[in-house]
Amino acid sequence: MGKAYIVGAGPGDPELITVKALKCIRMADVILYDRLVNRDLLREAKRDCEIIFCGKQPTHHTMKQEIINDLLVQFTSQGKTVVRLKGGDPFVFGRGGEEAAALAENGLPFEVVPGITAGIAAPAYAGIPITHREYGNSFAVVTGHCSKGKPTDIDWESLGKAVDTIAIYMGIGNLSYICQQLISHGKDEDTPVAVIEQGTRAEQRTVTGTLSSIGSVVEKEGVQNPAMIVVGEVVRFRERLLSLQCRASVPDIVTSEKVMAM
């Protein structure tokens, strides 16, 4: 009998993959990989490894989830070592739980290999700590896109009042709606917001604003998916860090990204 590995590839920078995840890639007979996986990682696969693209975009799925589940079951049943390679962490908005359930229901062995998630890594590369004693002691990770479009089933009131920092995945298309919901449920309209495009990759760039202004900033700068949205006072730390960086005359303490702070 084969075995499946549901593997987190990290947020984009290929050097952020874990040692265990890299071992899985190197021993795989089959790799099913997602759109946000850095393709440089696929070079680590065996020469005869079968590599299958299963990418999804917000409005277009190359392969339906049910088909991906079936392929996992099919290849593992054939006695192969199968790696399901997913961007970030497979259990953070990655449908890894659904894939694990499909394998378990068919009595097939599997293992989950966690990965570094973009909600922590992208802000870190932009100089924004997701928690900080002076700026925020709690954070939540939230999806900005649901199966029906706008994330209408989120408890925005609790998020607006009870959490210091909010990391929002897949939210660019619904950014105006998200900001409106947070303001109407208790967040000050001047709450800082950062949007980090292509987090941890060489193309990373960050724009900042407030709940009331970030929509127009993102539109003006043409920011697109994939992008992380960070809401909270921790965003202010970025300016402090960049200021200290300039004083120290050390250019790349945070990243070499194009600084677009507003």
For residues 117 and 1, the model is more confident at 117
Give the active site residue among 34, 86, 187, 228. 34
Structural domain for 161, as ranges: 118-260
* pLDDT at residue 35 in the model: 93
- Can the peptide bond before residue 123 be classed as cis, meaning omega within 30 degrees of 0? no
- Amino acid 147: pLDDT: 60
d(CA 126, CA 101): 35
pLDDT at 153: 82
228 part of the active site: no
> Which pLDDT band, with edges at 50, 70 and 90, does 152 fall under?
confident
Residue ending a domain, choose from 67, 82, 113? 113
Q: What is the mean pLDDT of residues 221-248?
A: 90
Catalytic-role residue among 29, 89, 170, 187: 170
Q: What is the pLDDT of residues 136-148, one digit of tens each?
A: 999 999 999 876 6
Cite the beta strand spans of 12-137 per DSSP E: 30-33, 50-53, 56-57, 60-61, 81-86, 110-113
Separation of alpha carbons 235 and 231, rounded Å: 7
| Digit-coded pLDDT (tens) for 110-125 | 999 999 999 999 999 9
Q: DSSP letter for 182, please.
A: H
| pLDDT for position 248 | 60
Residue among 20, 23, 56, 150 flagged as catalytic: 56
The label of the residue with tokens 């962490």 reads 89
- Indicate the residue among 113, 129, 145 that finishes a domain: 113
Domain count, the chain: 2
**Of 145, 154, 141, nearest in space to 182 by CA:** 154
Task: Assess whether 28 and 108 both reside in one domain.
Answer: yes
Same domain (yes/no): 123, 105: no
Catalytic: 187? no
Of the two residues 249 and 7, the one the predictor is more confident about is 7
Task: Please indicate whether residue 170 is annotated as part of the active site.
Answer: yes
Same domain, residue pair 134 and 85: no
Q: Are residues 77 and 149 in the same domain?
A: no
